[in-house]
Every structure is written in structure tokens, then in C-alpha cells.
Amino acid sequence: MRNGKVQYELFENALSGQIALEDVFKAYYDCRKSKRRTINALSFELDFERELVRLWQEINSGTYKIGRSIAFIVQKPVQREVFAADFRDRVVHHLVISKINSLFEKEFIADSYSCRAGKGTLYGVKSVQTQIEACSEGYTRDCYVLKLDIRSFFMSIDKTILYRMLHQFLNEKYHQPDKTILLRLIKQIIFNCPEDNCVIKGSRADWNGLPYYKSLFWSARCCGLPIGNLTSQIFANFYLDRLDKYITENLGFRYYGRYVDDFVLIHPDKKVLLDARVKIDSFLRSELHLNLHPLKFYLQHYAKGVKFIGAVIKPHRVYVGNRSKSNLYGKINNMLPHMSRSLQNTLAGLDALMACANSYIGLMRHYNTYRLRCRILDKLDKTFLSEALEFAPNASKLAVNKLFRPLEQKKRQLRQQRLYRRRQRNVCRSDIIISHNIKEKD
């Protein structure tokens, strides 16, 4: 009877305008996909059912409070401040996004590439390349590419404007009975100040060299979203959707693409692009309280090429950016000294080296990088690992030589053991035959 009463209460709450327990469990399973091996996730998983029910009750009763974040600095690809939310709060982030992301997808333009299913960096590069080709009529006419960047984007997002935009959008588009609770969670997430309740991972010296305007510790109280949260990425995309609509609808640009805060405009007339830059700067200042980066301004003929999200786009070809190349060379150079020159002790490190190299090679295969891939593989071929490595045709893949694969090594060991036992048996038989012959002679 007790179980039946609990089930009835859960069902009744789901119908009374509250978040369903099923949604919380689904958010948890989505959240743990990429975080299952972290300490926070493992600790939560020890009694995850009880923890999720408690979280669900707090959300519906309005007693949910955001926990402590971990703040740290990453140095690559550029120095950046990151706030990692507690695993429990990450579940809430996934819960919120799972309910509203489908509405965002219907609202966003096709050429907004970040944090969207079926989009991403590769899609963005291919799309911009296609747009340049279309604007230049197959590279037969002049056209120009304007690339702009927003200065300190995440730290400059106005929380009040963001929440007002989300509140208005959800009031118009979201018609589920849990709207009130959802808006309350969104408000908590947006106006939370993780810098007030965080643990510093590393030391304060890690922040040396980071400009003050790129840190939440120095930003205005009403501004800034923490880099590292799923909600920050999705909300930031939504925040700039107004910019996308302004450029494509108000300014009438047909060829346009944006990835986070980097965006490009393509047009046959250079003067139109220069005028657009002034209008975009004015729009960002007045409507979104953002500023264009004064130094990250690029305007060139398409034949000169344009750098965009890790690639260099030129007529009929796309190259990988210098940062990706230097990152790969750096990782290989860092890993090789730690790998023993004894191949027997190196086998464990080969998997990590191959995973790293093949991830970059896999990306490069989408671009015009055959010679670059050959140079990378040639570099590895000249090391002490040349015996253990083999290269697929067209420099498309790096693999461990069959003789050095763990399974093959195990088979070789078993074969050697069987051969040794067979030889031992033959030796014993020979000894028996010899002794028997000696006895017969005697």
C-alpha cells in the first residue's frame, strides 16, 4: 500500500504543474554520459535514486539551491577561466535544456553553428565555403569576407537582458504546465554568481596573465555567464540570435555564418561590409550591451583566404589552422619522451598516442591536408616506434603493427608456450628411445 501511495503522489505531482520525476532521471542519464568517471559523478551514483528524488522534491518545492563550483584556468587553446558546476547542478542544467532546446532549434537561423545537433565546426566551415563560392558565382566574380569578433563575450552578457529575453520567449512558445518552475530554475541559473561560492583548483597564480575583463571575479555583478556550464553555451547562443536576425533580416545579408561569438559576412561590395560593421557595432552596444573586439577585424578578398573556427578557407580548398597543427605536434613531442624505448614497455602508451594522432588526422581528412598528414606520419616513422606502427593508404590512419597488438602478442606467447611444451615432450621421447636402445644392446 505504501508503494502504491508513493506512486500516486508522483503521478499527481506530474499533473499539477510540477516537474516530472521521469524528466529528472532522463536529465541525469544524459548528464552522466560524459561525466561518469568524475569523482562527483561517482559519489552521486552511489545512491543516485535517492539523490534524484531529493533533487526532484527540492525543485518542485522551491527549496533547490545551487551548490559550489570549481574554478580553474585552462591554458590551451588560449588562457581561459572555467567554472565547473557540481554534478547535481549539472543534472538541473540538462533538465532545463531538455525542455527548451527544441524551441530554440525552431527559432535559430540555419547558419548558427555552435552547440547544435547536426551542426558544429566542420559544418560551419563547409557552409561558409559554400557561401563564398555562391557569392562569387563559382569563384568567377569578386566578393569580400568580413570577419568580426565580440570582445569578452561570455563575461559581457547582461543577465537582466538575457532573462528578459528568455522570459518573453518562453511565455510565447512554451505551453507546458511546469512553465513557472522552469522559469524559476532559469532565473536561479542566470543570476547565480559562482565566483562567490567556489573552490579554486590550482593556485591564484594560474590567473596571472588573464585580462581582468575575461574573469567573473572582476566582471560587473549583472554581467557574465560561467564558461563550462551547458546552460551558458545554449543561453549565449540564444542571446546572439537577435544579432543573427538583425544581420540577415534587417541588414539583408544573404551570406552569413556565426560560431559562438565569431561571425563572417560575405558580400560583393566592400563598402557595404564596412557600413555593416558600424551598424552591427551600434546594435550590439544599444540592444545587447556588447562590443566588437577592436583588434579582431578582418576584411579581405575571398582569394586571400579567411580563418574561421580552426580552418583556413580558400578557393577550391580548405586547410587546417596553425593552432591545430601546433597542438598536434606539441602533444606528440610531449608524449614521446615519456614512452620507453623498450617496445615491450611502450605498448600501453601506443594506444594513447594513436588516439591523439588519429583524432587530429580524422579531422584533417575533411580538409586538403594530404601532405601535412604525410609529414606527421613521417615524423613518427623516424622515431623508435617505427617497428610498432603502420600507416593506412593515403595517410588516412595510424595503426599499431599487427605483431605488436595486445591480442596478437598474447597469441604469440601462447604459440611459443605450446611450441616449448612440444619440444620438451619430443626431448623426453628421444631420451626414452635412446635409453631403450641402450638396454637392448646390453
Q: Report whether pLDDT(6) > 50.
A: no
Q: Give the highest mean pLDDT range of 107-111, 375-379, 393-397.
A: 107-111
DSSP 177-229: TTHHHHHHHHHHHHH--GGGSEEESS-GGGGTT--GGG-TTTS-TTB---TT-
Cα separation of 148 and 295, whole Å? 9
| All three cell numbers of 131 | 557561401
Cα separation of 82 and 229, whole Å? 9
Give the pLDDT score at 232.
96
My answer on whether omega of the bond before 211 falls inside 30° of 0, hence cis, is no
Those residues whose C-beta lies under 8 Å from the C-beta of residue 299, and which sit 6 or more positions away, are 144, 145, 146, 147, 270, 273, 274
Whether 284 contacts 292, CB under 8 Å: yes
Whether 81 contacts 204, CB under 8 Å: no
* Alpha-carbon dihedral 151, 227, 308, 33, rounded to 10 degrees: -170
Tell which phi-psi region holds residue 291, choosing left (phi > 0), alpha (psi between -120 and 50) or beta. beta
Give the pLDDT score at 405.
61
Give the pLDDT score at 192.
95
Give the pLDDT score at 327.
82
pLDDT in tens, 250-268: 999 999 999 999 999 999 9
| All three cell numbers of 167 | 522570459
For residues 145 and 310, which has the higher predicted lDDT (pLDDT)?
Answer: 145
pLDDT in tens, 46-57: 999 999 999 999
- Please give the average per-residue pLDDT across 306-327, as a whole number: 90
Give the pLDDT score at 8.
43
* CA angle 294–295–299, rounded 5-degree value: 100
Burial of 407 (0-12, 13-18, 19+ CB in 10 A): exposed
Torsion angles phi and psi, residue 57, rounded to 5:
-65, -40
Give the pLDDT score at 347.
59
For residues 157 and 37, which has the higher predicted lDDT (pLDDT)?
Answer: 157
Cα separation of 54 and 319, whole Å? 51
Cα separation of 72 and 199, whole Å? 9
The single-letter code of the amino acid at 423 is R
Whether 267 contacts 132, CB under 8 Å: no
Q: Report whether pLDDT(340) > 70.
A: no
Cα 28 to chain centroid distance, Å, stands at 19
pLDDT in tens, 296-312: 999 999 999 999 998 99
DSSP 278-331: HHHHHHIIIII---EEEEEEEEEEGGG-EEETTEEEETTEEEE-HHHHHHHHHH
pLDDT in tens, 179-189: 999 999 999 99
Q: Report whether pLDDT(78) > 60.
A: yes
According to DSSP, the residues that pair with 199 across neighbouring strands are 70
Burial of 344 (0-12, 13-18, 19+ CB in 10 A): exposed
Torsion angles phi and psi, residue 311, rounded to 5:
-135, 160
Q: In the chain, pLDDT over 90 holds for what percent of residues?
A: 60
pLDDT in tens, 22-35: 999 999 999 988 77
pTM across the whole model: 0.83
Give the pLDDT score at 34.
75
pLDDT in tens, 416-430: 777 767 777 766 665
Give the pLDDT score at 136.
96
Q: In the chain, pLDDT over 70 holds for what percent of residues?
A: 84
